[in-house]
Amino acid sequence: MSKVKCDHCHLEFGDDVMIHDGEYRFCCKGCQGIFHLLKDEGLDSFYAKMGDTTLSPPTEQFEASTNFDTPAFAERFITRTKEGFSQVSLIIEGIHCAACVWLNEKALHKMEGVVEAHINYTNNKARITWDEGTLKLSSIIDMIRAIGYNAFPYDASLQEERANKERKDYYLRMAVATFATMNMMWVAIAQYAGYFTGITQEIKTILNVAEWFLATPVLFYSGWVFYRGAYYGLKNKAVNMDLLVVTGSSLAYLYSIYITLTESGEAYFDSVSMIITFVLFGKFLEVLSRKNAADTLDVIGRHIPREVSVVEGDSVREVNVNEVKIGDLIRIRTGEKAAIDGEVVHGEGNFDESSLTGESDPVFKRPGSSIISGTTSIDALLTYRATKDFAHSTLSNLVNLLENAMSNKPRIEQLANRLSQHFSSTILFLAIATFWSWYFWPHTFDRALMVGISVIIIACPCALGLATPMSIMVGVGRGAQEGVLVKNAEALERLEKVTTLVVDKTGTLTEGKPKLMDVLPVDGFDAQEFLHLAASLEQNSEHPLAAAIVQGAKQQNL
């Protein structure tokens, strides 16, 4: 029996196993659904760009996705919402622009069973909520892969590895751009000096050729990130900032080659190199800002205890926090942080709850007292019974609260995204109009082209499409570093209208740490000697007052 190609993935199968849909043939319902989604949204040009390329076979996709449906994966990465739906955080690889975010969100929302799908462009993190009774997570992963992207569960350690790799790539590209640009400046000095003192055309051409060789790796290696971004933007019918940079620098580069070969006019290879170098540095700063903001969550995540001591009869064993069940007995020692909420059954001692309540005074715990996850044992050695599992613990909820705040888009960001989608197209139109206006004024072609390119280069929609979401993310992240958790990013937008701040705890306004103010020794003791002895006794204690005494002694070099 002859084989036919699937109209989506282009893999060949027997006609008897294909799904017949009018004039189209599909190997599975997933391919059929994606095909009609792209067609309905006017993105069927995806197949023209795809050419004869084949996508991953469904069997390979299924095998790669089966681990997403295992109980072990669900315990570690999947949480439950109040409504009973499942929720997971994924990192989507291959997202280069806002159009990629739009395509993935559209595809996911079209799936039956998906309740919510939101992707944060600044860190490529997707938060997906779905009904497990209708849809499996593996089907969601297959959908993402079918449209040309990849997804894997969010993990702080993996994110660190990917971020380091991206940073090293930018370092190398910036090193090439900086080296070439700095050397090009020496050539440019000779050109400008020759312009005023007189220079032969032969020497001028030699200098132009030297700049040509230096500008080429800057444009096509260091500037490759802009070409890639422009390609993916056009692929999804979106005009983005990268296209503006690529268009302006490429036109200046081609024009300079023409000038060099015809030995007429002035070449602008140095301008091409400077444009790419400066914008690349800006791009790198964006990457660093994005990573620093995301690191806030990673640092908080890394400070969450991964194991707890579970009491089983006369023995104690270390257990992963995700394996702890309600009713398990947990032992906590001095200096340890509670990862699970519970109730004390044996032992007593003080806990530091300032990170949650803002109050610096230690809270004494005894049998029957509640233990809140995220609080730290100061001098307590006790056993308590778990009243919640880790997924529903106070500490886990706080981290999820912060993640949701970073993912939610306030109105100002939604407006900025809508404006930036049309901004680049408008700039290209203005650049073309400027070129023809200057050309017919009349001016020379050279002058008109340079003015048109200038319009493209100086008009960068970073402030609209990038700086707005970045500022939201950095603001929420900085607040977390300072101990302020923002429940909704929209609160930051409303905060600038606030005129009065009302607080209900003194600990909210103070540092929350006792400080040694004065030493009043008893008769027969010198003040410094007395403080030295007190600090010696308290140096191994975790109590806030003991820490204040030790710190006071250190400040006096005792």
C-alpha distances in angstroms, 232 versus 36, 71, 124, 260, 527? 21, 36, 15, 32, 71
| Chain mean position to CA 60 | 29
Residues 223, 246 contacting (CB under 8 angstroms)? yes
Tokens of 285: 């700063």
Alpha-carbon span 330 to 324, nearest angstrom: 9
Using the structure block, give the residue that is written with the tokens 């909420």: 341
Structure tokens at 422: 């049309």
Under DSSP, the state recorded for 327 is T
Question: Is 7 among the residues known to form the active site?
Answer: no
Q: Collapse the DSSP code of 443 into the 3-class scheme (helix H, G, I; strand E, B; otherwise coil) and give the result.
A: coil
Spatial contact of 269 and 254, defined as CB atoms under 8 Å apart = no
Question: What span, in angstroms and rounded, lies between the C-alpha atoms of 521 and 220?
Answer: 74
Our CA angle for 552, 557, 558, nearest 5°, is 80
Cα 186 to Cα 403: distance, rounded to the nearest angstrom: 49
Of 16, 314, 504, 518, catalytic: 504
Instruction: Please state the φ and ψ torsions of residue 517, each to the nearest 5 degrees.
Output: -100, -40
DSSP 3-state assignment of 309?
strand
The Cα–Cα gap between 335 and 450 comes to: 66
Sign of the torsion formed by the C-alpha atoms of 320, 325, 331 and 334: positive
Look up residue 381 and give its two tokens.
Answer: 């050695």
- From the list 327, 359, 363, the residue with the least C-alpha distance to 342 is 327
Which phi and psi (to 5°) does residue 308 adopt? -130, 160
Determine the Cα–Cα distance for residues 474 and 123; give it in Å rounded to an integer. 12
Diameter over CA atoms, the chain: 107
Q: Which of 399, 542, 544, 540 is nearest to 480 (CA)?
A: 399
Specify the 3-state DSSP secondary structure of 151: strand
CA distance to 289, 395, 406, per residue, from 159 (Å): 15, 21, 16
Cβ neighbours, 10 Å, residue 288: 13
Q: Taking the CA atoms of the chain, what radius of gyration do you get in angstroms?
A: 31
Please give the C-alpha separations between residue 164 and each of 125, 171, 288, 363, in angstroms, as whole numbers.
Answer: 17, 10, 10, 41
Catalytic residue numbers read 504
